[in-house]
Amino acid sequence: MATVAQKLSPIQVHLLRFFSERPINEQETQELQQLIARFYAQKADKLMETIWQEKGYDEAKMLEILEKDFNK
């Protein structure tokens, strides 16, 4: 199986350097994973809110979409 070399982004390099100088335990690892997950979840929420506002969506529209039969 061939591997493709990818260049690391600046943030990836920064994080590798940071954590290579400071060991972290399992609890800290889990906390960091949760922190990163929350960060991206908040970004997704903000993007979804923007899309809803641009398209004029509301709860009624969401219920309409959920009730629609897409198999027809």
Q: How far apart are CA 50 and CA 3, in angstroms?
A: 38
For residue 71, what pLDDT band results from cuts at 50, 70 and 90?
confident
- Predicted TM-score (pTM) of this structure: 0.67
Query: What element of type H or E holds 11?
Result: helix 10-20
pLDDT in tens, 42-65: 999 999 999 999 999 999 988 998
Q: Which amino acid is at 62?
A: M
pLDDT in tens, 17-35: 999 999 899 999 999 999 9
Report the distance separating Cα 18 and Cα 22, nearest Å: 7
| CB contact at 8 A, 56 and 64 | no
